[in-house]
Amino acid sequence: LAQTFEASPPDVFDRLIRLNYLGAVHVTKVLLPAMLSPLGMGVKKERNASQRRIAFVSSLASLVPIYGFSAYAAAKSAITTFADILQQELEDVGPAVTIIFPPDTDTPGLQAENVGKPATTRAISEAGGLESPAAVAASAMHDVLLGRQRSLLGATGRALSWATAGVSRAQQDCPLPLPPPFVAVIEILLAPIFKVALFGFAYWCRACILWHSRKGRQQGQ
């Protein structure tokens, strides 16, 4: 999953798009009509469609560019955009749509990914920390049941989501139970700080790339 674009075979891009984006699209296309029906999904008791939930698993890598993730992050970004639009279309009729942005999680999948991962990618990714599967699952389930649009674990993930929110309404994951207008004001006040932080992150990433590039050239001599 973690390779430079030059080192990535073309089929990797096709496979990740099919697995992540198109897989989510096709499953949603099949299940959504039943989820919109009051008696859909085999539910005996009539239930409002807004009580049902759709969850998509994206990644923090879809929010910011990270060296070595040209295939993986692009596929996850497609999920994020698709889910954002689906949420707009279903907001008045249900079900609620949640996008989950898990951080690096201590799983066999991550261990396999780390084999052959570029040193630059590893350095940037590890700066975001490592979470346990139980913590990630509990956070995601909590946010899905609440019908939140985005699910992020920890202060770093939440700040990254707020800083890169783009065209959106007030974030729902504010740690304080405040009305949306108050949350919007907080976001506006924090926007300059987030922008400075993003500048710092971008320059730090650039420094990591240059340092590892020089180190690689020196080792190759």
- Residue 72 known to be catalytic: yes
Q: How far is CA 22 from CA 15, 28, 59, in A?
A: 10, 10, 16
- Count up the domains in the chain and report the number: 1
Q: How far is CA 125 from CA 48, 110, 121, in A?
A: 41, 11, 6
Residue 14 resides in a domain: yes
- Both tokens of 17, joined, read 């798009």
Q: Please give the DSSP secondary-structure letter assigned to residue 195.
A: H
- Residue 58 known to be catalytic: yes
Residue 111 resides in a domain: yes
Convert the pLDDT of each residue in 48-72 to its tens digit.
666 889 999 999 989 988 999 999 9
21-29, long-range: CB < 8 A, 24+ apart: 21/75, 21/78, 21/79, 21/82, 24/56, 24/79, 24/82, 24/83, 25/82, 28/54, 28/86
> Which residue in 59, 67, 72, 77 is the catalytic one?
72
Residue 2 resides in a domain: no
Query: Which residues span the domain enclosing 74?
Result: 10-168
pTM: 0.84
Convert the pLDDT of each residue in 86-102 to its tens digit.
999 998 888 999 999 99
Mean pLDDT, each 10-residue run in order, the chain (221 residues): 90 95 96 81 55 92 91 95 93 90 88 86 87 93 90 82 74 68 84 90 93 81 50
CATH of the domain at 130: 3.40.50.720
- Residue 203 known to be catalytic: no
Residue 81 resides in a domain: yes
